[in-house]
């Protein structure tokens, strides 16, 4: 697989190699060793989620308190989606910036994002199905959202009338979330990431810094 960092530090696009024959398709959609080699640490798997959405549904922008935060590895196993990473880390050089990656069941791309980054998705097809792995279990008290239609973010959603949940429709703007002190701090995010296990020089053993 090919793994490339996006324009927002801490987010990567994964492009797997696929094998196709008359029987169907085979691919490795996740490799902990290959990912760890590129990003510098393994993804500690704590929870796996499946999300199914109708066309036009927008979910996000969601993020978790840091520490501990929640890293995510996301792919689309049915249909197509625009997956969006938003830099919500106060003090980051790319604070307030977003980047989108098309995920679908044809090219089978995935996105990995570190703790502190915001995540959102827009379903481009009916019954769009996401499969994503998380580094921490769901903790509603530590989960937050920023309004996905906030003009300050300026996310270019590829649907005319995005369908939002009640929670996302009531989410604060980026400015209000920052004023309320709920956005992640960039330095705290870096410390959280750097404390994680790292690859040893010979093979994969993992160690704490």
What average pLDDT does this structure show over 177-190?
97
> What are the tokens at 83?
């997956």
What average pLDDT does this structure show over 23-51?
95
pTM (predicted TM-score):
0.91
SS3 33: helix
Task: State the pLDDT at residue 176.
Answer: 98
Distance set, CA 1 to CA 15, 27, 205, 208 (Å): 6, 9, 22, 27
SS3 97: coil
Active site residues: 62, 132
Task: State the pLDDT at residue 197.
Answer: 54
SS3 37: helix
What average pLDDT does this structure show over 169-196?
95
Q: Looking at per-residue confidence, does 209 or 17 come out higher?
A: 17
| Per-residue pLDDT band at 201 (split at 50, 70, 90) | very low
What average pLDDT does this structure show over 17-28?
95
Q: Looking at per-residue confidence, does 198 or 153 come out higher?
A: 153
Of 14, 129, 120, nearest in space to 79 by CA = 129
**157 has a pLDDT exceeding 90:** yes
Q: How far apart are CA 46 and CA 146, in angstroms?
A: 24
Give the number of other CB atoms < 10 A from CB of residue 152: 10
Task: State the pLDDT at residue 79.
Answer: 98
| Per-residue pLDDT band at 195 (split at 50, 70, 90) | confident
Q: How far apart are CA 182 and CA 145, in angstroms?
A: 9
């Amino acid at each position: 697989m090919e793994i490339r960092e996006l324009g927002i530090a801490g987010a990567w696009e994964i492009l797997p190699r696929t094998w196709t024959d008359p029987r169907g398709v085979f691919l490795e959609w996740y490799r902990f060793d290959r990912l760890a080699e590129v990003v510098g640490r393994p993804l500690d798997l704590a929870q796996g989620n499946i999300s199914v959405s109708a066309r036009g549904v927008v979910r996000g922008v969601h993020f978790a308190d840091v520490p501990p935060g929640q890293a995510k590895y996301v792919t689309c196993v049915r249909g197509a989606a625009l997956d969006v990473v938003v830099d919500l880390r106060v003090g980051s050089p790319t604070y307030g910036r977003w980047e989108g990656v098309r995920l679908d069941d044809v090219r089978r791309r995935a996105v990995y994002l570190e703790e502190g980054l915001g995540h959102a998705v827009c379903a481009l097809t009916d019954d769009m199905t996401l499969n994503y792995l998380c580094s921490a279990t769901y903790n509603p008290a530590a989960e937050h959202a920023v309004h996905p239609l906030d003009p300050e973010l300026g996310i270019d959603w590829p649907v005319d009338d995005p369908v939002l949940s009640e929670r996302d429709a009531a989410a604060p703007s980026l400015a209000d979330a920052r004023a309320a002190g709920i956005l992640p701090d960039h330095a705290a995010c870096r410390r959280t990431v750097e404390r994680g296990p790292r690859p040893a020089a010979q093979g994969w053993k993992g160690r704490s810094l």
